Amino acid sequence: MKVSVIHSECKRKSSYPPSLFVSTELTKAEDLWSVRADLSMASQTINFITWNVNGLKQNRDQKFQELQNADIVFLQETHIGTGDEHIKDYKDEWYIFYTKYTSSSKGTAILVRKSLDFEHLSDERDNCGTYVVLKCKLEGQLYTLVSVYNHHTDAKTLDNLSSYLQSMTTGLLVIGGDFNTVLNPFIDKKCNTSRKIKNGNQRKLLLFVKKFMKSLQLVDVWRRKNPIKQDYTFYIKDSPASRLDYFFIPEECTWRVRSCDIRNSERPDHRPVFLEINNIPAMPFQKDCHIPTIFQWLNLKQYLLTDETGSLLGEESSQAVSEVDIFSAVNSLQVSDTPRPDGFPVSFYKDNIQHLIQYIKMLYDRIHSGAFNCSEKHFNETVKSPHDNSQHFFNVDYLIIATILAKRLDDFLESQSKDHAPKDSATVMITPKTFCTEMRLSHIQDEIEKQKQSNPNLYQDFLIVKNLLRDAPEVDTESVDVSIERDKLLDQGCPLTPVLIMLALKCFGSALAGHLKQQDILVFKDSVILCTQPEDLEKVLAAVRERANEVFYIEELYRGNVNGKQLKCLGNESMPEDWKKREAETLMNSIQYKMDKGNTESRVCEQFDFWSVINEHKEILMEDGGRKKMYAVVTLQDSDEMMVAPTNWLSLDKKQCYWPPFKSPDKCMEAVQNRIKPETGGKPWEKLNISFHGEYFTFEKSKEEQREMKERKER
């Protein structure tokens, strides 16, 4: 079926958002928000545990006693062979799905507590004991549950599982298991100065796990909930403790997670990971579910493929995007009850991809050529989750294109990052506090432009990214320079958001350490590691400490070696018997993070300029043993007044400055001298256009320069 075959009655409606002219037979996502799920469901949670039990022959009752608070259990290394099926002894309390392999290795299982409202749909069990997949309904909601044991000798398990889950997943996908590798050796492994995965099998396992996560757009849930915490699930004598056990869920479903913790255990080698999921339907259940047709989809989408005269565009296609790219992107998307502004679910695209692929290519070409403005066409419109104000749901065609571009940017980031820190270097971790923010992209664009010769397509891809992203609300002030690029919204739920934030942090790290003699930047999925010479560490830390708590965390990991002497290694040195003590030591960090994070169900997107905070330090001059220039002399363009302002109030280009709204001159002066955070009641102050004159180390020096400048001006 060709996209050009469009019914003659279809009219061009480009001046309206798609949701306003969806066929009346289709469900409107906006209308669904007026209907709320039953309040009893809003408080319903399901508790999961994933745990490598290292066999069920010994201490079986004790191990099951530790599962009392769980509704769903994923077990690994069950060691169940013929005649060893003692797990059946617990069938009165649990629905049990398990693999049979040998009595000495591997084996996985999924247990569902019988007190839960459970409906079995289907299950798949690997004959080599590496996974169990269970499709079911829990308390009326669809789930695909996967327990995985990624054995270090297995090369194909995750690839095979990925292909199956891309095609067969239904409902919320929850994956738990022992993956036998660390995702970030700097923080997922107890102190190791080289921070390099030296074992060949470990490197291969890591590549397999990364590929698996990308193929399904998965998030490491514990790390997302605990961005700076260092905790471990595995300990064995004479080896460093490591975090090998994970829960993964799709990025678009992270709003469903209430909590994720590593729990203590009586066993010395593996600790269980606990996950609490909100069992809330994204859309209220509808009795008569309407299945949209290709014709209805064409009727809705044809306005995107017409020119200004209303004529349908031709089918000529450049090679900007391939069918392989499109198939890969579609397969990676989550199939669930997620609402869409136009009412068409992911399952519709997966079922009809052969018919829709030409449309995606034509649409991509229009955006690629600059002939299509995504905001004006309402192509990037969203609906918000009624349960989490920061979660946005996009149309599937938008997600397909965003996913293709996110993968390309992610590949670029990986190509720019080494896999280990240089010998003897100090290391600092920078990780974002939020995946929902505003950002000015010109600074990332500057970084991308440097790659034009070696990667000419990357810059064009980035221009498409800028077109795709939603514009931030316009600032209601006449003082803002219209020539300054408009901020973009990085929404939770957009595939581009995580990779753009990581790219921004990499650019920040480059700007911060670019003047140093030796520096390296390593990029991971949720953090950036900045490596410097030990003598430069304090300069780097001084540059970011002041404002680090606003948009990102900064954590000093390792102070490096000087003359062969190890200065300091952060991380936990405790043995398994000291786990409770270790929990107490990290409790204050955890409490502070949770206070910052607030209630998951009601948190609001951070409404500050991500880059305005990061950029305060991009041109910091490290002089006099790491001293920082703290104040600037500027002229407010509206009033032509020459003033002293803290450097942390200035924009990167030094053309704008936050200014306090206080009527009292004394209060304004106090704010300047104390370099207070430029906000009142959590809302940023207005930015004023300025003329910049210079930066100085102290307030007194800047006042002195201000007087001299005024005198010269009056002469």
- pLDDT confidence of 402, banded at 50, 70, 90? very high
CA separation for the pair 69, 401 (Å, rounded): 42
- How are beta strands 45-52 and 273-278 bridged, if at all? antiparallel
Q: Which helix (H) or strand (E) holds 703?
A: helix 699-714
pLDDT of residue 50: 96
Pick from 254, 263, 233, 244: nearest CA to 184: 244
Is residue 656 a contact partner of residue 484, using CB atoms and an 8 Å limit? Answer: yes
Say how many C-beta atoms besides its own lie within 10 A of residue 597's C-beta: 13
- pLDDT confidence of 388, banded at 50, 70, 90? confident
- pLDDT confidence of 475, banded at 50, 70, 90? low
Per residue in 41-76, pLDDT (tens digit) is 444 899 999 999 888 777 777 777 778 889 999 999
Which residue's entry shows tokens 């995504």?
374
Concatenating the DSSP letter of every residue in 217-246 gives: TEEEHHHHH-SS----SB--TTS--B--EE
Residue, of 426 and 20, whose pLDDT is higher: 426
Is residue 7 a contact partner of residue 363, using CB atoms and an 8 Å limit? Answer: no
Pick from 619, 612, 632, 617: nearest CA to 687: 612
Q: What is the CATH number of domain 39-278?
A: 3.60.10.10
Per residue in 409-432, pLDDT (tens digit) is 999 888 877 777 888 888 889 888
Q: What percent helix, strand, coil does the chain show, rounded to 5?
A: 35, 25, 45
Contacts from 674-682 at CB under 8 Å and sequence distance 24+? 675/546, 675/630, 675/646, 675/648, 677/550, 678/648, 678/649, 679/608
- pLDDT confidence of 401, banded at 50, 70, 90? very high
- Kindly state the percentage of the chain with pLDDT values over 70: 76
Residue, of 308 and 704, whose pLDDT is higher: 704
pLDDT of residue 307: 59
Per residue in 502-553, pLDDT (tens digit) is 988 888 888 777 778 778 888 898 898 989 888 888 888 877 665 555 578 8
What is the rounded radius of gyration, in angstroms, for the C-alpha atoms of the chain?
27
pLDDT of residue 545: 65
CA separation for the pair 507, 441 (Å, rounded): 11
Per residue in 172-188, pLDDT (tens digit) is 999 999 999 999 999 99
pLDDT of residue 319: 65
Exposure class string for 234-266: b at 16+ Cβ within 10 A, else e: bbeeeebbbbbbbbbbbbbbbbbbbebbbeebe
Per residue in 601-659, pLDDT (tens digit) is 333 444 444 445 444 444 443 444 445 678 899 999 888 889 999 988 988 778 889 98
Is residue 276 a contact partner of residue 45, using CB atoms and an 8 Å limit? Answer: yes
Say how many C-beta atoms besides its own lie within 10 A of residue 32's C-beta: 17
Alpha helices (H) in 45-156, listed in sequence order:
60-65
Instruction: Enter the pTM of the model.
Output: 0.76
**Looking at the predicted structure, is the pLDDT value of residue 35 above 50?**
no
On average, the pLDDT of the chain sits at 78
| Domain boundaries, given as residue ranges, for the chain | 18-37+285-405, 39-278, 417-562+598-613, 629-714
CA separation for the pair 263, 270 (Å, rounded): 10
Chain center to CA of 395:
19
- pLDDT confidence of 565, banded at 50, 70, 90? low
pLDDT of residue 293: 80
- Both tokens of 2, joined, read 């060709």
Pick from 166, 404, 417, 174: nearest CA to 273: 174
**Looking at the predicted structure, is the pLDDT value of residue 240 above 60?**
yes
- Both tokens of 305, joined, read 């493929």
Contacts from 255-258 at CB under 8 Å and sequence distance 24+? 255/385, 255/387, 255/388, 255/390, 255/391, 255/492, 255/600, 256/172, 256/280, 257/221, 257/224, 257/225, 257/600, 258/45, 258/600
